[in-house]
Chains A and B, each alone.
Chain A
Amino acid sequence: MGKVKANAGPLARRPDNSAFKQQRLPAWSPMLTAQTVLPFFYGMATVCVLLGVWLLVTVQNTHELKVDYTHAGSCDKCFEKRKDRANANQSCNCTVVFNIENTFKGDVFFYYGLINFHQNLRQYMDSRDDGQMIGRNKNLKNPSSYCEPFMKDKNGLPIAPCGAVANSMFNDSFTLVYHSAASRQVVPLFRKGITWYTDKNVKFRNPQVENKTLTLAQVFEGTGQPLYWQKPVYDLDPWDRNNNGFINEDLIVWMREAAFPNFKKLYGVLNRAIEPFTEGLPAGNYSVDISYNFPVEYFQGRKEVVLSTVSWFGGQNNFLPIAYLVTGCLILLLAVILTAVWWKFAL
């Protein structure tokens, strides 16, 4: 049709008769009629309510236990001790005890939680150098200026890892102990495999050197440790040499900044190969031995340990099922109102 236009005849300027140009493109025009809208509303309401019920049932089968140890039990003395910054280098150990009434079945996850700690401040979040953490030698010795004032230590050495995020790394450590009738047994925890695969294998790498025989300490030679750290980065895990440097999993977990001031971060996963933990955490008395290092009193923060099991949609989460139920009910209410209105006015 459009070809006719090519020659300059008497109709040379006649527009093409194409569906596009004449605005006659075939189209589908859905209408909001009662026949479509009302069933849709009822359908959505049903789906939401059913999902909500299902999620609620699922959540009921998960367990979660929180123990706030900020100044619970013997930790009170440590709390007082950490108030004074002069004691920063003195270690302080304490223990909290708690009881599990029902067995935690399945995989059990051990978290530490922080309340009122703002990992989401803009200046804080920016204060890191991903180039350094991916193991670039250039950045190792010459970190990004975003890390200021945690870029160089007082000797002028570049800090590795630099920045406020790494500097404020959570450094309490925990030992979970199960007190059965007979004995006192340390609960075995996997301290590795607690990060995202991509973080552990792509985002965080130790500096690459040509000489493979160098130890990690030699690789990091010429860098300083973060100001608030007690150990250098290549010595974070004294038990596992491969869990040191930038790929230390506690560091990686910490470096994934929480979105909100109250958060929990994974510390370990129950090793279910060992009796009596093959089924999960049995009911009974437990205690946590804490190496209490991280000061929270400055910002009125609190610390806790969290034990939790998970379901197919993640850890214990009452919000989602309830939100689904509420939404479903509201839609049902709307649907009823719409039906009533339609019945009364339109018919």
Chain B
Amino acid sequence: MNVRVGDIIKLENNHFVAADILLLSSSEPYGLCYIETAELDGETNLKVRQALTVTSDLGADVAKLADFNGEVICEPPNNKLDKFTGTLYWRDNKYPLDNEKMLLRGCVLRNTDWCFGMVIFAGLQTKLMQNCGRTKFKRTSIDKLMNTLVLWIFGFLVCMGVILAIGNTIWEQKVGRTFSVYLLWDEPIRNNNVVFSGFLTFWSYIIILNTMVPISLYVSVEVIRLGHSYFINWDRKMYYIQKDTPAEARTTTLNEELGQVEFIFSDKTGTLTQNIMVFNKCSINGKSYGDVYDEFGHKRTDCVDFSFNPLSDRKFKFHDSSLVEAIKMEEPSVQEFFRLLSLCHTVMPEEKNEGDLVYQAQSPDEGALVTAARNFGFVFRSRTPETVTLYEMGIAVNYQLLAILDFNNVRKRMSVIVRNPAGHIKLYCKGADTIIFDRLDPHSQQAFAGEGLRTLALAYKDLDENVLEEWMKRLLNASTVIENREEGLADLYEEIETGLMLLGATAVEDKLQEGVPETIACLTLANIKIWVLTGDKLETAMNIGYSCNMLRDDMNEVFIISGHSVSEPELEQVLLETACLCKTVICCRVTPMQKAQVVELVKTNKMAVTLAIGDGANDVSMIKTAHIGVGISGQEGMQAVLASDYSFAQFRYLQRLLLVHGRWSYFRMCNFLFYFFYKNFAFTLVHFWFGFFCGFSAQTVYDQWFITLFNIVYTSLPVLAMGLFDQDVNEANSHRYPSLYRPGQLNLLFNKRQFFLCTLQGMGTSFLLFFIPYGAFCLVVRDDGSHISDQQAFAVIISTSLVIVVSVQIGLDTYYWTAVNHVFVWGSLAVYFAILFAMHSDGLFSILPSHFPFIGTARNCLTQKSVWLVIMLTTVACVMPGLAVRFLKTDLYPTLTDKWALCQEAVRLGWVVFRRTSPLLSPYGSCSDETRL
């Protein structure tokens, strides 16, 4: 592609936008153009972009477009998808440019035949590319530990090299020089330069012993993580049937950390609740509508009949007919209330057939409000950049749209300034109640929070033509500034949104998701602390807290804090300590930034694994900050999901993600690492012992082919199968006994101590592997008298013993023998012998004699009974101590896992459960059983 900055290009319907371009003109009136940004932020609703009026006049006139000589000065390339600031200088005028005039690379043009645009950023400078790979790289604690261990092993390797090099120096000094009559080469060494010989030996041994840190470790770890991610994706129990959404592991690197989570930070809206907004209450001019109970205390069951309104939405339900009465009576305040709802929003209407209206809303509560207004007779029908058309009780009314004062998370309100057909100018504002109340004329305030409702206050203000004109000028000025444009605009908005008159308030109900209280109870039993961080007000947050069992009247260790309080840095420690003492922590009124700060605070100070779960754009920072970010793919767009590491549709799946997938992943990864290090130490250190017998000359014990294939062919698959399929406790019990999650949090299964133990086991094994055959074979001969104490036979015996020992060991380490495990373990052994005999065959030797010098060794060795006696002895001696230690551990100091696994086994075998009386071992019960532990 030869698109360069400054080019003017034409785009056609349904085409991808190729670069970040400034919209100049389009086929639609007013230079409008519709795009879909699903590739950028995952949101599938159509968005509208509009060209500057001066440029949209260029139309499709190629000659004029070619003459276009405007100059754009703008911000440097960055990764903010929703912000752009720039200025266009053209024909001695300057025009502000913002994101509304930009088509970003990756968007798709929709419902627009063509458009022309000027390339602002191309290639790597586009916002899409700037977003690539810029996200913070998350790594698990096991990862970090592994890197440390690899460094340690490297240090150990150098130590070994030094020991052997010193050994070589001494040996050459004492023995080697007297042996020189048979080794005439290496003049420098023969000239008594034994130190140089030691130096060379050091490097030789570094090369020989490097199999202690095999590359295949990293490869296998990644393969196992990938497998675990697939298991998450494939899990039917985390698939949400209503939305056809399976769980998704969006990163493959964090799985085992899911088994170590100690803190969960949860958003409320859309995460604990469904975020399906239902308009069910409002308060207009002090009068409340929408209570489900009428004044006589009877429950209203019948729905209001909206048949008077042909444009109404059939799915909308409301239970209080008095509001319809009021609107039919043409009460001005009620009319103004719904007029505001139908004017003040950013919803896009789509009318495929006459009367068949579909609203494309960016947030569900906005959609709910506009739909409510539609049903009550104030139908939002269409919009252009400068007008909004309503059907007020069936009559079309055109409002001139003078300004839109956007919503954002800091302002928490939005306003529109419109001129009605009568010429009056009004500002309509809707926003969070506390925000609006601060900006009201001293006036009657009716608050209704409670019952988990989201409350929005609505207010208006009449504006004077002159005041507005002057303000509009300043707005134009402010919006052409490049630096600090945001702040300038916010100040201007602030200035005009004062002295508002309250119209009323709306309440949108948000229902709790299915299974939330049970999930929270279960996770709490797993010793996971759940903090709710919400932007909502205290009362709403507390109500949700009660309804999802986090708050109970009998609790006395509850910590509820409001966002205004969380700001002083020196109080952070106090906050943290207090919060950690409490059973339940709810932070309300927190901004997205504060959410991230809270997570960061816990992450850095408690050294614990944190998980953040949320669904909206306001949770993105917290999701990115936490060790693990989980996105709920729900109503509020896809931003949270895109920033997350795992995503699914319902909060309750979190229990399964942590207690089953996370726990298994951690368990498998730890066992895998333990075994892997053990195996490679056992394999490699044999060279070290041999060094003492071969004059430290860096002679390898094994055949070169065996060294090459050991890690990648002979022993890779069984351990991989264990890492992928092993289960110590089945999923039902993982759910039932949440305290099984504890070892992960305490990091018990693989840590430096465990590493030391597996190193020790590996060393012991290598010692036995070397010295038992040594003891047996430095003397032995074959049963036909010819000798088999040669180096090649020795290599075959040790390598065969090694493969058998590590295979038996993996057998003992595997808790869950599926068919795959059987195939891999037995298959690896079979492959070992097959390859061994193939490598030692006549055919290969006659083709390449120097590469296959082991001809016939396998045949001559493995037919000897004494060889098998040695292999058997080695295997028994290597495996039995480990087995005894394991048995003692499970018997003397059984972990919870051992107990439940034992129980599970007992139940499976149909034994009458012994020790039924002991509360510890009753395998029946639910989460609540756990409290007794």
Q: Which residues of B contact A17 (CB under 8 A)?
A: 236
- B766-788 Cβ-contact flags toward A at 8 Å (1 or 0): 00000010111111111111111
Return B867 CB to nearest CB of chain A, in Å.
9
Tell me which of A128-136, A174-182, A213-221, A234-242 binds B: A128-136
Of B175, B182, B815, the contact of A124 (CB 8 Å cutoff): B182
Question: Is the Cβ of A345 less than 8 Å from the Cβ of B892?
Answer: yes
Task: Answer whether A299 and B817 are a contact pair too, CB < 8 Å, given A123-B185, A259-B777, A338-B888.
Answer: no
- Measured in the bound complex, the distance between the Cα atoms of B892 and A26 in whole Å is 30
Report yes or no: A310 in contact with B183, Cβ–Cβ below 8 A: no
Give the contact stretch, choosing among A73-81, A152-160, A263-271, A284-292. Answer: A263-271
B 205-239 contacts with A by CB, 8 A = 231, 233-237, 239
Given A29-B901, A298-B179, 5 extra CB contacts under 8 A:
A31-B902, A32-B886, A44-B876, A120-B697, A202-B846
Tell me, in angstroms, the Cα distance from A41 to B879 when the chains sit together: 11
A331 at the interface (CB under 8 A from B): yes
A148 to B780, CA, bound (A): 33
Residues in A whose Cβ lies below 8 Å from that of B778:
259-260, 262-263
1/0 per residue, CB under 8 A from A, across B867-899: the answer is: 001100100110011011011101110000000
**Is A222 an interface residue, CB under 8 A from the partner?**
no
Question: CA of A16 to CA of B234 in the docked complex: distance in angstroms?
Answer: 7
Q: How far is the CA of A48 from the CA of B873 in the complex (A)?
A: 8
Does A125 interact with chain B (Cβ within 8 Å)? yes
How far, in whole Å, are A55 and B865 apart by their CA atoms in the complex?
12
B39 at the interface (CB under 8 A from A): no
Report whether B791 and A258 are in contact in the complex, using a CB–CB cutoff of 8 Å: yes
User: Chain B contacts of A136 at CB under 8 A?
Assistant: 849
Seen from chain B, the residues whose Cβ lies within 8 Å of a Cβ on chain A are: 175, 178-179, 181-186, 204, 231, 233-237, 239, 241, 244-246, 664, 693-695, 697-700, 725, 727, 731, 772, 774-794, 815-821, 842, 845-846, 849-850, 853, 855-856, 859-860, 864-866, 869-870, 873, 876-877, 880-881, 883-884, 886-888, 890-892, 901-902, 905
Q: If A15-B246, A120-B693, A341-B891 touch, does A134 touch B849 (CB 8 Å cutoff)?
A: yes
The answer to the question of A98 belonging to the interface, with a C-beta cut-off of 8 Å to chain B, is: no
Taking a contact as CB atoms under 8 Å apart, the answer to whether B869 and A14 are in contact is: no
Contacts of A26 in B (CB 8 A): 818-819
In the complex, what distance in Å separates the CA atom of A343 from the CA atom of B236? 45
A-B contact pairs, 11 of them (CB 8 A): A10-B244, A14-B236, A23-B664, A26-B819, A37-B887, A109-B785, A259-B790, A314-B781, A323-B873, A341-B892, A346-B891
A198–B777 contact, CB under 8 A?
no
Q: Which A residues, 135 to 182, have Cβ-Cβ distances below 8 Å to chain B?
A: 136, 144, 148-150, 164, 167-168
Shortest Cβ gap from A301 to chain B (Å):
9
Cα-based distance from A139 to B844 in the complex (angstroms):
18
* Cα distance, A150 to B591, chains bound together (Å): 82
Report the minimal beta-carbon distance from A142 to chain B, rounded to whole angstroms: 13
Check A195 for interface membership: any CB of B closer than 8 A: yes
* Chain B residue at smallest Cβ distance from A48: B876
List 7 tightest A-B contacts by C-beta distance, closest first: A198-B856, A21-B234, A315-B781, A109-B785, A122-B699, A313-B866, A259-B794
CA distance A33 to B914 in the complex (A): 14
Residues in A174-199 with C-beta less than 8 Å from chain B? 194-199
Please name all residues of chain B whose beta carbon is closer than 8 Å to the beta carbon of A262 when the two chains form the complex: 778
The interface residues of chain B lying within 8 Å CB-to-CB of A276 are none
Number of interface residues of A (CB under 8 A): 99
Name the distance in Å between A108's Cβ and chain B's nearest Cβ.
Answer: 9
A12 contacts partner chain B, Cβ-Cβ < 8 Å: yes
A263–B787 touching, CB < 8 Å: yes
Query: A121 on the interface (CB 8 Å rule)?
Result: yes
Q: Is A231 positioned at the interface, with any CB of B under 8 Å from its CB?
A: no
CB <8 Å contact, A29 and B178: no
Work out how many contacts link A and B, with CB atoms closer than 8 A.
275
Q: Are A118 and B179 in contact (CB under 8 A)?
A: yes
Q: A22, A148, A346: which contacts B234 (Cβ < 8 A)?
A: A22
In angstroms, Cα B822 to Cα A28, docked, is 10
Instruction: Verify A164–B183 contact, CB threshold 8 A.
Output: yes
Q: Complex Cα distance A129/B564, Å?
A: 84
Q: How far is the CA of A26 from the CA of B186 in the complex (A)?
A: 62
Q: Say whether A27 contacts B816, CB under 8 Å.
A: yes
Cβ of B881: which chain A residues have Cβ within 8 Å of it? 334
- Docked Cα-Cα span, A167 to B888, in Å, equals 57
**Residues 239-274 of A contacting B (Cβ, < 8 Å):** 253, 256-266, 269
Distance, CA A259 to CA B701, complexed state (A)? 9
Shortest Cβ gap from B703 to chain A (Å): 12
Is A198 in contact with B846, judged by CB distance below 8 angstroms?
Answer: no
Q: Is there contact, CB below 8 Å, between B876 and A327?
A: yes
Q: Are A299 and B179 in contact (CB under 8 A)?
A: yes
User: What distance in Å separates the Cβ of B666 from its nearest Cβ neighbour in chain A?
Assistant: 15
Residues of B within 8 Å of A28, CB to CB, are 816-817
CB within 8 A of B792: which of A29, A133, A256, A298?
A256
Contact of A198 among B186, B246, B842, B890 (CB under 8 A): B842
- Cα separation A32 to B814 with both chains bound (whole Å): 11
- Check A129 against B850 for contact (C-beta < 8 Å): yes
Contacts of B231 in A (CB 8 A): 21, 23
Report which of A44, A122, A130, A167 forms a contact with B850, defined as CB distance below 8 A. Answer: A130
Q: Is the CB of A198 within 8 A of B860?
A: yes
Task: Identify B178's interface contact among A48, A265, A298, A341, CB under 8 A.
Answer: A298
Pair B234/A15 contact, Cβ less than 8 Å = yes
B174: nearest residue on chain A (CB-CB)? A300
Question: Given contacts A13-B244, A29-B815, A312-B865, is CB(A148)–CB(B873) below 8 Å?
Answer: no
**Beta-carbon contact of A203 and B856 below 8 Å:** yes
Cβ of B586 to closest chain A Cβ, rounded Å: 35
Give the distance in Å from the alpha carbon of A273 to the alpha carbon of B672 in the complex: 61
Contact A37 B791 (CB under 8 A): no
CB distance from A105 to the nearest CB of B (A): 14
| CB-contact partner of B873 in A29, A131, A134, A324, under 8 A | A324
